[in-house]
């Protein structure tokens, strides 16, 4: 049998790969429910990016299907054959003003491709697409059909995949190019937990008019803002000292009798909140030093004492560690407090096998009950952990390919992130972040090394062909 030089095949198509990738990266595909319509259920941007991806597949001769602008797929091989699944997504998390380049004008600098979605998940998805394209163009014999499913709501709800499952059958085996190498064969369950605060009677020296922080549930908030009345003149100096001690930035501005505080933390992917600095909890911990009205005092006390720097639910009664899958994580990522309206903080809770939704809700309710805080688990989410044994043939094959092309030893790994790989009975996440590389997913100045996108395409082409030939 002739050995295929996958590196040569990818190199020959490198310019086309990046041309196509730049096109999808240039589309602002943040979920936009403010402009959602019956035609575009999660907004026009994400659908536009998905449709562009499908149009590239049509150009290259693949069968395609669009399921109501929520999810689509391309297909190659005998339509009646068993399906091998690839699952990627075209939606991206929101951006802030901390970028040094336009997040939707991709640019290559110092060997890095900067753009929102470069590493999560447009870059890896395009690498996987070109792997399938190579297999097709070489006319290689395959016994399974390849179905590449592309979603539009992976980052905040998975309505796309729920819709797919209503209309189509999910392949039983495959992978999602949406995490890291060498492999992710274990994923924690992921739920949103709302903590609803009461409105209480009672005044203080200060009144908290509003407190807002957070861009997305799966992202540790990078900035936080509060508006208060009755602030002492010393608050500006106090805040400056607090920021300096904690390695943060921000400022206080005054507008009549109102003081506006803005704090800049470090936003990161919620799967490992220890890597960031939660702006919401830091700002609450600062304000907790003052004598506020009763509602605000209750809110600030809970956030600063039970959420601040409490990454694994230690003070919420839900701490648990699995020997393979790791710890529960409980970052508070969405804050919405209004003196006259809603008072809510939503936690992004991720947990391994060994605990469950009911236990977490019960324990948090017990701990927060003295503060009249109501705990509600958000409907949906990935409510069960996913684990595929390291002895599974899929895992063994993917690790073998990884070792061949990197010269590094492969190993099993579990993460707090949730990928489409968990939707497959025999599914994993495979790449495309390489060992030793910084993860900038969900962060300003998101990037992926150009050479890593090429290397991922090589690995994907070899792996996919081994699994479908």
Q: What is the CA radius of gyration of the chain?
A: 24
Spell out the residues 6+ positions from residue 220 whose beta carbon is closer than 8 angstroms to its own: 265, 266, 267, 268, 269, 270, 273, 276, 277, 278, 331, 333
pLDDT at 462: 98
pLDDT at 24: 98
Q: How far apart are CA 75 and CA 83, in angstroms?
A: 9
Q: How far apart are CA 265 and CA 276, in angstroms?
A: 8
66, 168 Cβ separation under 8 angstroms: no
pLDDT digit string, tens, across residues 203-214 = 999 999 999 999
349, 367 Cβ separation under 8 angstroms: no
pLDDT band at 4 (very low <50, low <70, confident <90, very high): very high
The phi, psi pair for 327, rounded to 5°, reads: -90, 160
pLDDT band at 2 (very low <50, low <70, confident <90, very high): low
**Active-site annotation holds for 361:** no
Give the DSSP H or E segment for 64.
strand 63-67
With 80 as the cut, is the pLDDT of residue 417 above it? no
pLDDT digit string, tens, across residues 303-322 = 999 999 999 999 999 999 99
pLDDT at 365: 98
90, 50 Cβ separation under 8 angstroms: yes
* Neighbouring C-alpha atoms within 13 Å toward the C-beta of 23: 15
Q: Tokens 């068993």 sit at which residue?
A: 82
Query: Which domains are seen in the chain, by residue range?
Result: 6-188+385-468 (3.40.630.10), 190-377 (3.30.70.360)
Catalytic residue (choose from 154, 272, 293, 413): 154
Q: How does the average pLDDT of the chain come out, rounded?
A: 96
Q: How far apart are CA 155 and CA 218, in angstroms?
A: 7
52, 34 Cβ separation under 8 angstroms: no
Q: How far apart are CA 461 and CA 350, in angstroms?
A: 32
Q: What is the DSSP string of 303-363?
A: IIIIITT-TT-GGGT---EETTTEE-B--EEEEEEETTS-EEEEEEEEE-TT--HHHHHHH
Q: Record the pTM.
A: 0.78
pLDDT at 156: 84
pLDDT digit string, tens, across residues 17-48 = 999 999 999 999 999 999 999 999 999 999 99
pLDDT band at 380 (very low <50, low <70, confident <90, very high): confident
pLDDT digit string, tens, across residues 39-84 = 999 999 999 999 999 999 999 999 999 999 999 999 999 999 999 9
**Active-site annotation holds for 342:** no
pLDDT digit string, tens, across residues 273-283 = 999 999 999 99
189, 383 Cβ separation under 8 angstroms: yes
Distance of CA 27 to the CA centre of its chain: 18
Q: How many CB atoms within 10 Å of residue 194?
A: 15
With 90 as the cut, is the pLDDT of residue 435 above it? yes
Spell out the residues 6+ positions from residue 265 whose beta carbon is closer than 8 angstroms to its own: 220, 221, 222, 223, 224, 248, 276, 277, 278, 279, 280, 282
With 60 as the cut, is the pLDDT of residue 1 above it? no
Q: How far is CA 253 from CA 159, 227, 238, 279, in A?
A: 41, 10, 13, 18
Sign of torsion over alpha carbons 38, 43, 415, 85: positive
For residue 212, the cross-strand partners are: 225, 336
Catalytic residue (choose from 9, 20, 75, 91): 91
């Amino acid at each position: 049998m002739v050995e295929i030089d996958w590196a040569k095949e990818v190199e020959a198509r490198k310019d086309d790969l990046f041309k196509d990738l730049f096109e999808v990266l240039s589309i602002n595909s943040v979920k936009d429910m403010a402009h959602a319509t019956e035609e575009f259920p999660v907004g026009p941007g994400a659908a536009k990016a998905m449709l562009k991806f499908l149009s590239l597949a049509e150009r290259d001769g693949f069968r395609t299907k669009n399921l109501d602008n929520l999810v689509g797929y391309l297909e190659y091989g005998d339509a009646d054959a068993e399906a091998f699944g690839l699952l990627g997504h075209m939606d991206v998390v929101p951006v802030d003003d901390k970028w040094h380049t336009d997040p939707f004008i991709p640019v290559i600098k110092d060997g890095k491709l900067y753009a929102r979605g470069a590493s999560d998940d447009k870059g890896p998805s395009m690498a996987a697409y070109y792997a399938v394209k190579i297999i097709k163009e070489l006319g290689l014999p395959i016994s399974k059909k390849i179905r590449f499913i592309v979603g539009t709501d992976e980052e905040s709800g998975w309505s796309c995949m729920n819709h797919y499952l209503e209309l189509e059958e999910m392949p039983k085996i495959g992978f999602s190019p949406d995490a890291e190498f060498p492999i992710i064969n274990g994923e924690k369950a992921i739920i949103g937990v709302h903590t609803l605060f009461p409105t209480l009677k009672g005044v203080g020296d200060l009144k908290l008019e509003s407190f807002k922080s957070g861009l997305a549930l799966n992202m540790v908030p990078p900035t936080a803002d509060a508006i208060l009345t009755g602030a002492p003149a010393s608050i500006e100096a106090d805040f400056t000292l607090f920021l300096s001690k904690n390695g943060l930035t921000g400022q206080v501005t005054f507008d009549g009798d109102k003081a506006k505080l803005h704090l800049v933390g470090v936003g990161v992917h919620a799967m490992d909140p220890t890597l960031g600095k939660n702006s919401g909890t830091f700002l609450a911990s600062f304000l907790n030093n003052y004598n506020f009205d009763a509602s605000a005092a209750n809110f600030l006390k809970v956030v600063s004492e039970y959420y601040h720097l409490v990454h694994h639910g230690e003070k919420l009664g839900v701490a648990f560690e699995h020997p393979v899958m790791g710890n529960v994580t409980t970052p508070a990522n969405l804050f919405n407090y209004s003196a006259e309206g809603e008072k809510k903080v939503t936690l992004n809770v991720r947990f391994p096998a060994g605990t469950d939704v009911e236990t977490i809700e019960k324990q948090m309710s017990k701990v927060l009950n003295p503060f009249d805080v109501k705990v509600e688990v958000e409907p949906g989410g990935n409510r069960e952990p996913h684990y595929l044994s390291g002895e599974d043939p899929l895992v063994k094959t993917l690790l073998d390919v990884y070792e061949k092309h990197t010269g590094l030893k492969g190993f099993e790994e579990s993460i707090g992130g949730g990928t489409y790989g968990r939707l497959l009975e025999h599914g994993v996440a495979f790449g495309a972040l390489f060992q030793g590389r910084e993860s900038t997913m969900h962060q300003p100045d998101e990037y992926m090394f150009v050479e890593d996108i090429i290397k991922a395409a090589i690995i994907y082409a070899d792996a996919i062909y081994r699994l479908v030939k």
